[in-house]
A = this chain, B = another copy of it.
Amino acid sequence: MIRFEEISPSDFFYRNREITGFENPAKACYTIVREYLENSLDSCELGGFLPNIEIYLKCENEEEKRLRIKVADNGMGIPHEKIPYAFGKILYSSKYVLRQHRGIFGLGGKMAVLYCQITTNKPVRVISATPGSEFISYFELKIDIVRNEPNVVKRSKVLNQDNWHGLVLESEFIGDYLLSKKKIMEYLFQTSIAVPYARIYYQDFEGNALIFDRKTDKLPPIPEETLLHPRGVDLEMLKRLIKTSPGMPLNKFLVKRFQRIGNKTAEEISKLANIELDKIVSKLNEDEISRLYQIMKTYPFNKPNVSSLSPLGEAFAIGIKEAFKPEFLAYDIREPSSYEGHPFIVETAIAYGGEIPIPEQNEINLYRFANKIPLIYDSYNDVSTKVIKEINWNVYKINIYQDPIAFFVHICSTKIPYKTLGKEYIANQPEVYREIELSLRKNARVVSAYINKKRIIEYQKIRYRYLKEYIEKIANFACILSGEKFSYIKNNLLKLVEINEVSS
């Protein structure tokens, strides 16, 4: 007999933790550092604070591989009464709104807490204060996985005398640092490229300390929360919006609940869908809703607005220059685009020479970023890898496998089309593919021009070196042919060579 069973969301993710980046103690160690850091960065940026983040990794028991992590930030903190849920209840989050976040599943931090708990049986410690808060909250908590509810072990408040704000998280877990150290360091290094306005301090129990100092004080604009673009709305979403707009007539509904719909567009839509403009939306029947949906799928709306996005812009170039000191850098940012109603912006850079290494055999130097976080694992299936492999680089006289050349791709969106809950790689959405390709090609032309000019100059230099060696013979020859004086011709030739050398 087949038994049916219901499980809670906590239980589901507990059973399937490998799909969220916790497949083994090495990956878990990497993922915990990453999730805590990304939540901290999100929190600082949303509050408009220049991030100042410290991460400490200690070893509590070498044999058991029991580690302790502590992450402290100067962000928005979490309100006292929300703390148990923010860390102890899965599918409860502040990230389920239309705004660019690093986290989009609202899952990572809780999975980290959950993993710590199931490997060490210890609660997570949370210290938090929101800006202006009179007190600082202290919590120790676990997750009741079967019921998906927080289980508060300890809670208290102390006076916030120094007007501190931010979040400190501390937890213990079984992790393999030996096997994850390299990836963690690489992750921190690449993060510093994407957020040169952050100060990140990292210290492990082996005596390593990484300090990524702030390279600019300019924080990118804070992304705003936006309305839905009508193209991104499916039937379920449309019905939900109708349900939460009781008593609203169609025109008001369209204008108030969507971006890119003004009174005139609303009028046109109502005509096309054959529904009266002032019909109360909660009274629309299934047929009318379906018609409205069809129009929304096909009407030529303006592109989604991008106030909810926060590209890196200038900071990207600063970060790359600081990290690699390239001889030449081409940077490009595309106009906003959208896929299925989700706005996104692609920015790319190609760096040449300087400290850019020659790629390892059959590899390419590709640095992928999404909503300001570096993507380290599983690059082979990523859309950027696909784009780069499918461009014919001979056209640009670039050998991506042998030249000291590196590619940087950043995509920011209210909805990054990740393929995994572990946020490892980006799906091959045609619109995203095209934007990356166009941007890389633009940079490729610039870099190609630079490299070619450089090659020509080097070629010229070699030519003139040869010319100098043979100048006496040539002068001799010219002397016989022209009847001019040898010294006169030689001097003129020498001058010519020197002028060319200088101008090149």
Contact = CB atoms under 8 A, between A and B. Distances in A.
Interface in A1-21: 2-9, 11-12, 14-16, 18-19
Contacts of A23: 417, 419, 427, 429
Contacts of A6: 85, 89, 91-92
A94 B3 CA distance: 5
Nearest to A43: B2
Interface residues of A, number: 60
Interface string A372-395: 000000101100000000000000
Contacts of A85: 4, 6
Contact of A94 (B5, B94, B380): B5
A230 to B, nearest CB: 15
A121 B91 contact: no
B92 A4 contact: yes
Given A18-B419, A381-B380, A427-B23, A236 B145 contact: yes
Number of copies: 2
A105 interface: yes
A92 B240 contact: no
Interface in A398-427: 417-422, 424, 427
Give the most central of A24, A64, A145: most B CB within 10 Å: A24
B7 A96 contact: yes
A294 interface: yes
A7 to B, nearest CB: 5
Contacts of A427: 18, 23
Contacts of A16: 105, 421
A3 B117 contact: no
A118 interface: yes
Nearest to A7: B91
A227 to B, nearest CB: 15
A498 interface: no
A146 interface: yes
A456 interface: no
A422 B378 CA distance: 16
A128 to B, nearest CB: 12
A417 B8 contact: no
A64 B82 CA distance: 45
A97 interface: yes
Nearest to A27: B427
Contacts of A7: 91-92, 96
Contact of A421 (B118, B146, B421): B421
Interface string A64-108: 100000000000100000100110010111101100000001000
Given A4-B92, A4-B94, A19 B418 contact: yes
Contacts of A289: 121
A419 B420 contact: yes
B9 A97 contact: no
A91 B146 CA distance: 12
B121 A286 contact: yes
A234 B3 contact: no
Contacts of A120: 235
Interface string A225-238: 00000000011110
A46 interface: yes
Contact of A380 (B11, B15, B89, B380): B380
A119 interface: yes
A282 interface: no
A180 interface: no
Interface-central residue, A15, A89, A121, A293, by most chain B CB under 10 Å: A121
Interface of A: 2-9, 11-12, 14-16, 18-19, 23-24, 46, 64, 76, 82, 85-86, 89, 91-94, 96-97, 105, 117-121, 145-146, 234-237, 240, 286, 289-290, 293-294, 378, 380-381, 417-422, 424, 427, 429
Given A23-B419, A420-B420, 19 more contacts: A2-B46, A5-B93, A5-B94, A9-B9, A15-B96, A16-B105, A16-B421, A18-B418, A18-B419, A19-B419, A19-B421, A24-B429, A118-B234, A118-B236, A119-B235, A121-B235, A121-B289, A145-B236, A378-B419
Q: Which 9 A-B pairs have the closest CB atoms?
A: A380-B380, A118-B236, A6-B92, A2-B94, A118-B234, A121-B235, A5-B96, A4-B94, A9-B9
